[in-house]
Structure 1
Amino acid sequence: MPMHVIYGGTFDPVHHGHLRLALEVSERLGNVPVNLVPCHIPPHRGETGATAAQRLRLLELAIAGEPCLQIDDRELRREGASYTADTLRQLRNELGADAPLVMVVGTDAFAGFDRWQEWQQIPGLAHIIVVRRPGTALDRESEPARLLAERGVESADALCGQASGRVLELDPPWLDISATGIRERIGGGQSPRYLVPDAVWAEIQRMGLYGACPVNNF
């Protein structure tokens, strides 16, 4: 049965770090599509710098021509804060009880996993891929570390054997790029070229996002 993979985030804006990570995960899983899921209202941070529609437009430009990356905009179409448990329940209802469902998170996000809404329900809904981020480690006494110890597997093949419940750590090449840094750079009048796809930068300028002057800087 095909594996369904989601990678959520604010993507404010989407950058090469997001895209390379998603493609690495796709390749490690046998070139299965990875669905990028932009959140509507992030529960753990303030307002986004771009609207939902603008962030979606930037994502569409970023993945154009890459068949292994897709967009799932269900959280943008859902009212209220975007909780992962709600999204996984919706997907589980659509995919059925037996389809392997996988969510991708970075180590930094997974370190706070036990503070997520209904976090105890998530392993029953999906597998979790934790992408190691340099400089970020789990507290050995924490609930996320315990979850990894109890449910951890060594290979992607192990995720195919059941619908949910396993945790796989991956250590792909990591591009240390942050959306916060990109927004600050643009707001300070500097170019983010080579941090984001050219088409994304051009659209940011066209829409005047993040304090960008609507001119062609390249």
Structure 2
Amino acid sequence: MNSTKRVSEIKKNIAIMGGTFDPIHNGHIETAKETATWLNVEQLFFLPAHLPPHKNTTTASAKHRTAMVNLVCQQQPLFQLDNRELKRHSASYTVKSLREIKQEQPNSRVFFIIGMDSFLNFTLWHQWQTILSLCHIVVNIRPGYQLNQINTATQQLLKNHQIDDLAEIKQQDAGGIIFHQNQSLNISSSEIRQQLLSNKKQNNHLTECVHHYIIEKKLYQK
């Protein structure tokens, strides 16, 4: 491992989980809880994207997605909403948000949480090298995932940046990539939206407050 920044006066560890959260569901919540506990961070920020660079549309408006994430955060002291990307009204680039967060919290060590699908495209992200200079990347994978399935660009990325030990990665400011096996629910927001279309009275993959909000606001209906 030769591409990390050495540790300086770090005062706290924070985690960031980005996504459209359209809607936020129990898979997001349980993944966030489990990963935050493993990392032992002081705060986890949900960072809803306005327009993800690789997705042209969202189904619910920024206003409604903000409200749903905020409802979840109100029930979990560890969680906090960061809605800066929703205020931009333009494509959401992770590097810009991370720069701002590091300026606001210069003594924080940032762990940016992503899934394996996103990680396989990480070298296509806007200014991905700068992203790694600002944070560590935590890649959530399912038990049994075979890392030999990854593409050549990702293999080279791991050769330069992967760290296997959590204690070791916390000796660096940024620049590391670490894998975390996550047992949380494997369900997508698109599946939940489809379920809401067919059965609006019940959805076991949503918190009660989010489900009530969706029903009240008549979201995800034809």
Q: 1:192 to 1:38 in 2, by over 3 A?
A: farther
Deviation of 1:133 (Å): 3.6
Matches within 5 A, 1:76-87: 76-87=86-97
TM-score (norm 1): 0.89
Q: 1:207 to 1:141 in 2, by over 3 A?
A: closer
The ranges of structure 1 where at least 4 consecutive aligned residues each deviate by more than 6 angstroms after the TM superposition are: none
Q: 1:109 to 1:62 in 2, by over 3 A?
A: same
Deviation of 1:22 (Å): 0.4
Q: Which residue of 2 aligns with 1:67?
A: 77
Deviation of 1:116 (Å): 1.1
Unmatched 5+ stretches in structure 1: 213-218
Unmatched 5+ stretches in structure 2: 1-10
Deviations 1:108-156 (A, max 9, x none): 1101111111112211111100001468655444322322232111232
| 2:117 corresponds to 1:115 | no
CA distance in 2, matches of 1:103, 1:4: 9
Deviation of 1:26 (Å): 1.1
Deviation of 1:20 (Å): 0.3
Q: Which residue of 2 aligns with 1:6?
A: 16
TM-score (norm 2): 0.87
- Answer 1 or 2: higher relative contact order, Cα 8 Å, separation at least 6: 2
| 2:161 corresponds to 1:144 | no
Quick one: which amino acid aligns to residue 19 of structure 1?
I
| 2:45 corresponds to 1:49 | no
Q: 1:92 aligns with which of 86, 102, 124?
A: 102
Quick one: which amino acid aligns to residue 3 of structure 1?
N
Deviations 1:60-93 (A, max 9, x none): 1123221111111111122310001111111122
CA distance in 2, matches of 1:185, 1:136: 28
Q: CA RMSD in A?
A: 1.9
Q: 1:31 to 1:90 in 2, by over 3 A?
A: closer
Q: 1:135 to 1:156 in 2, by over 3 A?
A: closer
Deviations 1:177-198 (A, max 9, x none): 1100011111234555210101
CA distance in 2, matches of 1:84, 1:189: 35
Q: Which residue of 1 aligns with 2:40?
A: 30
